Amino acid sequence: MNADMNAGEKPGMAIMISGTGSNMDAIISATRRGLLAARTVLVVSDRPDAPGLKKARTKGIKTLAVPYEKGVPREKAESAIIGAIKAERAEWVVLAGFMKLLTPNFIQAFRNRIVNIHPALLPSFPGAHAIRDALAARADITGVTVHMVDELMDHGTIIAQEEVAILPGDTEESLAARIHATEHKLYPRTLQQLFHEDF
């Protein structure tokens, strides 16, 4: 937790998404139900058409879309995102389906304050197709990992994990549905512990 925060103060989060924002929804819902003592001060997406941006706006939350232009260094887009997050005084950056690999510059700007959720039990099945990869490997168990973000993909200190069984006949869609249901419970609960307890 930010040392400058007063005891009992709710930390500000910037949530970063690329798609529908289902984990974003779960996090915001948890804050409004009193299960997560935090404030969502900004929702950022690399896709201006991301459905999650509209959801955030309907909840009265400030949004920002910053496309990563082809052929342009990622640092250019990230500099705008970094500036917006700092302007909103967010203590934490919460990745919730953000599908771009962050550069070392971004990591350094928010060192030890960036959290991600991944639909597998890391270090197993890193990458963008974790659910498909678990099925292809004929694994019996997969799950969900919440971890701190560092310069490597799907790396960094693991904060929490929860197993999800792979059932006979599972498709990518059926397994994804159970993994997402687990994510929506585990992520807000873990953020509450991270923000307000010592790990």
The per-residue pLDDT for range 67-123, each reduced to its tens digit, is 998 998 999 999 999 999 999 999 999 999 999 999 999 999 999 999 999 999 999
Arithmetic mean of pLDDT, 160-167: 98
Residue 199 has pLDDT above 70, yes or no: no
Full domain range(s) for residue 147: 12-196
Residue 116 forms part of a structural domain: yes
The residues carrying an active-site annotation are 118
The whole-chain average pLDDT of the chain stands at 94
In a domain, 40, yes or no: yes
**Residue 25 maps to a domain:** yes
Distance from C-alpha of 147 to C-alpha of 119, rounded to nearest angstrom: 11
Say if 145 falls within a structural domain: yes
Q: What is the pLDDT of residues 139-157, one digit of tens each?
A: 999 999 999 999 999 999 9
How high is the pLDDT of residue 197?
82
Q: Does residue 169 belong to any structural domain of this protein?
A: yes
Question: Contact, 187 vs 160, CB < 8 A?
Answer: no
On whether residue 58 sits in a domain, the answer given is yes
- Average pLDDT on 133-139 reads 98
User: Looking at residue 102, what DSSP letter applies?
Assistant: P
For the chain, what is the domain count? 1
Strand order in the sheet with 114-118: 63-65, 39-45, 12-17, 92-95, 114-118, 141-148, 158-165
Question: What per-residue confidence (pLDDT) applies to 8?
Answer: 57
Q: What pLDDT was estimated at residue 198? A: 61
Q: Is residue 4 part of a domain?
A: no
**pLDDT reported for residue 7:** 44
**Could you tell me the two tokens for 167?**
């059932």
Helices 22-32 and 51-58 cross at an angle (nearest 10°) of 20
Residue 151 lies inside a defined structural domain of this protein: yes
pLDDT digits (tens, 9 = 90+) for 59-81: 999 999 999 989 989 999 999 99
Q: What angle do CA 1, 31, 65 make, to 5 degrees?
A: 85
Indicate the pLDDT class of residue 9, thresholds 50, 70 and 90.
confident
| pLDDT recorded at residue 5 | 44
pTM, to two decimals: 0.93
CATH code for the domain of 109: 3.40.50.170
Q: Can you tell me the mean pLDDT for 16-37?
A: 97
